[in-house]
Amino acid sequence: MEEWEAAKKRIAFALDGMTPLEARGWIRRLCPWVGVFKVGLELFVQGGKDAVRAVQEEGALCFLDLKLHDIPETVGRAVARAKELGARWVTVHALSGEEALRRAKEGGGSHLQVLAVTLLTSLSSSDAKAMVGDSLGAWMERLVGVGMRAGIDGWVCSGEELSTLRRVVGPRAFVVVPGIRLPGDPLGDQHRVATPKLAIAKGADLIVLGRSVRNAPQPEEVLRRVVEEVALALKGCG
Ligand code: C5P
């Protein structure tokens, strides 16, 4: 039971592709397997603070994935407003720059942790070449440097860059890995995916699942397998 609870805390479900009413239904349905629910842009635009409240009412933690990317003043204030909602984590693009990340951190605090999004899992190495003329890994290392100088609380990165990130930020930094797929799942628009087992074994603190669960004929069955995989990986026998 303890192992189940420990695994559950590592699993986030992305409340994408649904109305606020449907989101409430999914939260109730999945909270035995999921400790964190991710409210992204899509749901926040529709449901606003009620979407965050719906997560809290079921006793789960809210990951407010707003992926803020703006000037320091705006980012800092937006994070301060997010703190009033009671979310546990909020995301800011590392590309916003060091000052924006610093202001975000000031707007957060001990209850609301600010996570820097390094590179979206949908970006490919050809995107990196076209946008910055370098590899994904090198681009990410630069962005992590920016976040570290700003004293950011944690990071979002793909399973592929996780080892590189851990090497740079050390074992204690909080790291979230989206783009999680079970073997055989369709990738959709995600280019750099990992299985739950691999992501946890490589050092993810929190993994985010969306379509793999939402589009499954039996989402609870998928999550039962994910909880088992995560529990095994946490024991070091994944
Ligand atoms: O459906 P899927 O499992 O691909 O869900 C991906 C979720 O993770 C989406 O909500 C997306 O916004 C989020 N995400 C991501 N890549 C990042 C950060 C967040 O795919 N770098």
Q: Tell me which residue has tokens 């916003």.
A: 96
Residues 6 or more apart in contact with residue 158 via CB below 8 angstroms: 119, 121, 177, 178, 179, 192, 193, 194
Rounded to the nearest angstrom, the distance between the alpha carbon of 193 and the centre of ligand 1 is 10
pTM of the model: 0.93
pLDDT in the model for residue 197: 94
pLDDT in the model for residue 238: 53
- The residue-averaged pLDDT of 212-221 equals 95
Nearest one of 161, 171, 73, 72 to 117, comparing CA atoms: 161
State yes or no: is 67 an active-site residue. yes
pLDDT in the model for residue 237: 61
Confidence of residue 9 (pLDDT cuts 50, 70, 90): very high
Mutate to test the pocket of ligand 1, among 18, 34, 67, 121 (most ligand atoms within 8 A of CB): 121
Cα distance between residue 227 and residue 54, in whole Å: 23
Q: For 89-146, what is each residue's pLDDT tens digit?
A: 999 999 999 999 999 999 998 889 999 998 887 888 999 999 999 998 899 999 999 9
Confidence of residue 64 (pLDDT cuts 50, 70, 90): very high
Residue 25 has pLDDT above 70, yes or no: yes
Q: How many helices (H) and strands (E) does the chain have?
A: 11, 8
Q: Would you say 203 and 172 are in contact if contact means Cβ atoms under 8 Å apart?
A: no
Closest ligand 1 atom, residue 38 Cα: 10
Closest ligand 1 atom, residue 158 Cα: 21
Domains of the chain, each with CATH number or no CATH:
2-237 (3.20.20.70)
Q: For 150-182, what is each residue's pLDDT tens digit?
A: 999 899 998 888 998 999 999 999 999 999 998
pLDDT in the model for residue 29: 97
Kindly report the CA angle at 123 between 161 and 73, in degrees rounded to 5?
Answer: 90
* Catalytic one of 38, 49, 67, 129: 67
Mean pLDDT for all residues in the chain: 93
